[in-house]
Amino acid sequence: MTTTASPATSTRPAPMTPKGPRSRSRGQQASRRRLAQATLALPAAVIIVPLLVILAVQGFDLVTHNENLTRPGSGDQWVGFGNFLRAFSDPSLLASIRVTVIYVVAGVGLEMLIGVSIALMLNGRVPGKGVLRALILIPMVLTPVVAGLMWRLLLDPTAGFVNYLLGVIGLGSEHAFLSDTATALPAVILVEIWQNTPFVIIIVLAALESLDPSPREAAQVDGVTGGQMLRYITLPMLAPVLAVVLLLRIIDAVKTFALVTTMTQGGPGTSTMTISNYVYQTGFQTFDIGYSTTLGLIVSAAMLILLFPTAGRLMGLRTRKAKR
Amino acid sequence: MKTAKAGTTLRTVVVYLFVIWCIAPILWLVSTSLKSDVDAFSPTPVWVFVPQFQNYVGAWLDGGMGGSMITSALVAIASSALGIVAGLPLAYLSTQIWPAESVASARLTLGILLLTIVPPVLSLTPYYRALFDVGLTGNAVGLTIVHTFYAILLAVLIFRSFLVNFPREVREAALIDGLGEWRTLASTILPNVWGAMFATFVLALIQSWNEFLYALVLTNGSSETVPVTIAGFLSFFGTNWARLTAAGVIGALPIIIFAIVVRKHMARGLSFGGVK
């Protein structure tokens, strides 16, 4: 796409460069150029900057006050770090962090395992591959609210198809999966896996197809087994892509909200209450908006500390001091 | 030779089972949406039934899906388009004007990455309060602004991944020819990033259409988007599952068809250049 343009650069003389009079206004010209460049950032800044200012100003106000919309005047009550102290001794926050960690580790872990396996199989000769790839896409783009409600009905103790199937094979047909504290979280995680494994498959499959085939061909000539090929050649070559996929899945899974809201609303008890659901509930069901914002801030800080350095490195950016 | 053949068969079986696992719930959703309400909630599956299209009529008219579809489409198209218009120049600035490995470029991209990682629950209450104060909640304007914000993040990361290896000499040549930055962007970069632009548009559209948390908080009644309306079909007083599933099919179908049609463009956009 660039072969026509690049040779021209070296040969073409700069048109308007009589030396003398120009040096006077060079500073002026540089600043005009800088200004023109700044306009490139303008459209994005128009949206991003006001929202960040709102976030900072409103956020500070909310975090330092004990505002509850059901108690008029509570917004004037300055509490300093009170909201943070309350958070650090809040068993519900701890419980929601625990639920979220289980959700992310089990959900994303299995998505990676299943997704990579299926991608490796799909990379071979499978009849009807084109159609299969199109079909696999569907769960991923299905509106999460619809996915949650659909599975809620599928898992229903009386009308659910899952219970019907279990009944047919003789495992009992009246499991109330979503109202049992032992099975509610695994059920939500199952839907997370159902919905997001295709994301892993699609990216890993695309990566497999763009891998340089020569190391694998060479290994084949040397007569390595399928397992050795996978362990020592294919997976190491895939590693950078797998790392990015894993990171993107973690970032997304921590934000989960729609599935839990539509399937269990965090219940029974708090057994499926993820962080997002807890913050939402605190802010918009008990209207404890000051505390809710504080919870959001703590969670965000934790996320950034855990993920940001790795994320920067994986996206090809140095997070340590850049060299130049 | 024999083991290779057995391997292929096994592989095919496993892959087909996986695809059935992906698709069967959807087929069941569609079939439920065509049943009468009694059959839809029957303890034993009703396999043979006369399709009941009035579920769809009910969801569209009484359930308000008609209005939400229009709102969702407007919000999704507007925020995706604005995201591209704002994101492309920023990606151009950070890969073509500043070298991609420069400090300024890295800082900008890290900033975008940071905003991508931060969970939306942080800004939920602050945005709600500020947008409520200026009358931008309860209609689609506030939501469009917030969705545009996320579309910009997506656009910058995708465009950056496409532009990071684009030779900077092209821009220098255009500048020497006397073009300004904006004209250079339009005449030399734009024709080379249609694929990235399409991928960004598709992903931003899906992201906005499916987004639930902000939509739930920032819109209500006549300004609800599709996910909020569908979630509203759940009722403590006996949910009409036939109508709910019909609403689900209506709400999800456009985006599913769209995604299948444009799937070739998605893989690279999805991984922000993780796949070349």
State both tokens at B195. Answer: 């694929």
Least confident of A118-127, A305-314, B226-235: A305-314
Checking if the pLDDT of A218 tops 50, the result is yes
Query: Does the distance separating the beta carbons of B234 and A308 come in below 8 Å?
Result: no
pLDDT for the residue numbered A298: 94
Locate A115 and state its tokens.
């997704």
User: Would you kindly state where each structural domain of chain B is located, as residue ranges?
Assistant: 2-56, 64-270
* Domains, in order of start, for chain A: 82-314 (1.10.3720.10)
Neighbours of A127 (CB within 10 A): 10
Is the CB of residue B122 less than 8 Å from the CB of residue A289? Answer: no
pLDDT at position A3: 38
pLDDT of amino acid A240: 87
Give the pLDDT confidence of B91-138 residue by residue, as tens digits.
Answer: 999 999 988 888 889 889 899 999 999 999 999 999 999 999 999 988
B21 band by pLDDT with thresholds 50, 70 and 90: very high
At residue B146's C-alpha, the angle toward residues B144 and B150, to 5°, is: 110
**In chain B, whose CA is at the least distance from the CA of A248?**
B271
Q: What is the pLDDT of residues A55-105, one digit of tens each?
A: 999 999 999 998 888 888 787 788 888 899 998 999 999 999 999 999 999
C-alpha distances (whole Å) from B215 to each of A264, B208, B223, B258, B269 are 19, 9, 9, 22, 24
Minimal C-alpha gap between B243 and chain A (Å): 12
Q: Which residue of B has its CA nearest to A307?
A: B117
pLDDT of A29 > 90? The answer is: no
Buried b (16+ CB within 10 A) or exposed e, A4-26: ebeeebeeeeeeeeeeeeeeeee
Instruction: For tokens 């020569």, name the residue.
Output: A214
First to last CA, chain B: 34
Q: Does any CB of chain B come closer than 8 Å to the CB of residue A158?
A: yes
Q: Residue ranges of the alpha helices (H) in B118-225?
A: 121-133, 140-163, 169-176, 181-184, 194-210, 213-218
Q: Which of A194-208, B130-144, B199-213, B260-274 has the lowest mean pLDDT?
A: B260-274
pLDDT at A16 over 60: no
The C-alpha atoms of residue B120 and residue B124 are separated, in whole angstroms, by 6
pLDDT at A309: 85
The answer to whether the CB of A30 falls within 8 A of the CB of B76 is no
Interface of A with B in 45-64 (CB under 8 A): 46-48, 51, 54-55, 57-59, 62
Reported as a pLDDT band with limits 50, 70 and 90, residue A25 is low
Please provide the average confidence, as pLDDT, over all residues in chain A: 86
Domain B64-270, CATH class in plain words: mainly alpha
Contact A319/A313 with Cβ under 8 angstroms? yes
pLDDT, position B43: 76
pLDDT at A193 over 70: yes
Task: Report pLDDT digits (tens) over A100-133.
Answer: 999 999 999 999 999 999 999 999 888 888 899 9
Interchain CB distance below 8 Å, A317 and B118: no
Whether A280 sits inside 8 A of B266 (CB atoms) is no
- The CA–CA distances, whole Å, from B270 to A205, B1, B174 equal 13, 38, 31
CA quadruple B230, B233, B239, B240: dihedral sign: negative
Structure tokens, B131: 């947008």
User: What's the whole-number mean pLDDT along residues B186-197?
Assistant: 89
What is the ipTM, given to two decimal places? 0.92
pLDDT digits (tens, 9 = 90+) for B150-165: 999 999 999 998 898 8
The larger pLDDT score, comparing residue B261 to residue B43, is at B261
* Calpha distance B112→A251 (Å, rounded): 14
- Pairwise CA distance, residues B168 & B95, whole Å: 8
